[in-house]
Amino acid sequence: MGYNVLIVFDYETPVNVRGYLPDGPLQQGLRTVTAALAYDDDETGETIILIVHQAIYVPEMQSNLLSTMQLRLNDVQVNDCPKFLTDKPTAESHALIVPSTDSHNESPLLIPLTIQGVTSTFPTRKPTPEEYELCPRYELTYASPEYDPSDARFADQEEAAAETVARLLKTGDVDRAQTRRLCHVSKSLADARQTMEFDSEATLTECSETLSDRKFIHEMKAAINVATVHTVKRGAAIDAQTLARNWGIGIETAKRTLRATTQRGVRSVLHPTLSRRFRTNDRQLRYR
């Protein structure tokens, strides 16, 4: 986020950022924030607040840069192909479609995109505190869980999806003689049921071997190998010294307080008029 935004929350987790040159300058200690943008809808004239969680604040920037991966992880539909390069363009072509999180207004927000050079853009400005409090809101990115752009799980999921798609058979005309299955009339219901199970499994195996229960279990046992898992405990947002100073208590009392409580419901506000809508790290609130 650039300078023209309203900062509503500071995660207190500074990051270091380097440009595309590996030996280029390194910007240290940039703030990770939740920022609010004002978007003025040209059709309705309505001002809408766009919330961007887990953003890096670079006050020297004049524009804001959005990550398409971060948007899509929050169920935002990113149609970034320009209309003149789309076969059958519609109103949703070259636009962002942001789902609503408000139970009273479930209609998504359509933000048409324009082009500057070869970059897709849309205009925003810094909202006033009154607009932030009163105007409807849409969240472009999620606040929790933690977003890590260098997480290797993205590549693992893409590789797994690509491998699955590669195994799918192409549609088209097939030899009916090769795919025909016979259902025999057996004397007992158990024999008939067993025959149908074998025929169904053979048909599914032709599509993909993993659709067969027995083949799938065999592949799972052969491929899964759970090794050790290593985690690093994250530091608390507030230490015992800070808590003792803020509450006017002793160090030992502050340490016992930190051991007996959590710091998940962080409440912080950077503007005196922003008195509501605090974030939480409770993961169940991430989903509608």
Q: What per-residue confidence (pLDDT) applies to 107?
A: 86
CA dist 252 → 27, 101, 234, 282 (Å): 38, 43, 21, 28
Which three-class secondary structure string do you get for the chain? Answer: CCCCCEEEEECCCCEEEECCCCCCCEEEEEEEEEEEEEEECCCCCCEEEEEEEEEEECCCCCCCCCCHHHHHHCCCEEECCCHHHCCCCCCCCCEEEECCCECCECCCEEEECEEECCEEECCCECCCHHHHHHCCEEECCCCCCCCCCCCCHHHHHHHHHHHHHHHCCCCCCCCHHHHCCCCCCCCCHHHHHHHHHHHHHHHHHHHCHHHCHHHHHHHHHHHCCCCCCCCCCCCCCCCHHHHHHHHCCCHHHHHHHHHHCCCCCCCCCCCCCCCCCCCCCCHHHHCC
Looking at the fold, whether 137 and 63 belong to one and the same domain comes out as yes
Q: Is 61 among the domain residues? A: yes
Domain that holds residue 198: 181-232
Res. 56: pLDDT tops 90: yes
For the ranges 10-19, 175-184, 278-287, the lowest mean pLDDT is seen at 175-184
> How many domains would you assign to the chain?
2
Which of 148, 166, 196 is the endpoint of a domain? 148
Q: What is the pLDDT of residues 255-283, one digit of tens each?
A: 999 888 876 655 555 555 554 555 555 55
Mean pLDDT estimate for the chain: 79
Res. 123: pLDDT tops 90: yes
Q: Is 253 among the domain residues? A: no
Tokens of 49: 């607040």
Q: Please report which confidence band the pLDDT of residue 58 belongs to, taking 50, 70 and 90 as the band edges.
A: very high
Section 118-139 average pLDDT: 93
Looking at the fold, whether 125 and 199 belong to one and the same domain comes out as no
Q: What per-residue confidence (pLDDT) applies to 93?
A: 94
58 in Cβ contact with 29 (< 8 Å) = no
Tokens of 248: 């006017």
Q: What angle do CA 230, 152, 236 make, to 5 degrees?
A: 50
Q: What per-residue confidence (pLDDT) applies to 271?
A: 57
Distance CA 184, CA 196 (A): 8
Section 74-91 average pLDDT: 93
Res. 198: pLDDT tops 70: no
Q: Please report which confidence band the pLDDT of residue 78 belongs to, taking 50, 70 and 90 as the band edges.
A: very high
Q: Is 246 among the domain residues? A: no
Q: Is 226 among the domain residues? A: yes
Q: What per-residue confidence (pLDDT) applies to 156?
A: 85
Looking at the fold, whether 107 and 203 belong to one and the same domain comes out as no
Instruction: List, as own/partner pairs, every contact residues 259-267 make where C-beta atoms lie below 8 angstroms and the sequence separation is at least 24, other chains included.
Output: 263/236, 263/237, 263/238, 266/237
Q: Is 202 among the domain residues? A: yes
Res. 191: pLDDT tops 60: no
Res. 33: pLDDT tops 90: yes
Res. 222: pLDDT tops 60: yes
Q: Is 261 among the domain residues? A: no
Q: What angle do CA 10, 16, 22 make, to 5 degrees?
A: 155
Section 82-107 average pLDDT: 88
Cβ within 8 Å of residue 135, ≥6 positions away: 38, 46, 47, 48, 49, 127
Section 37-41 average pLDDT: 95
Q: What per-residue confidence (pLDDT) applies to 13?
A: 87
Res. 100: pLDDT tops 90: no
Q: Is 161 among the domain residues? A: no
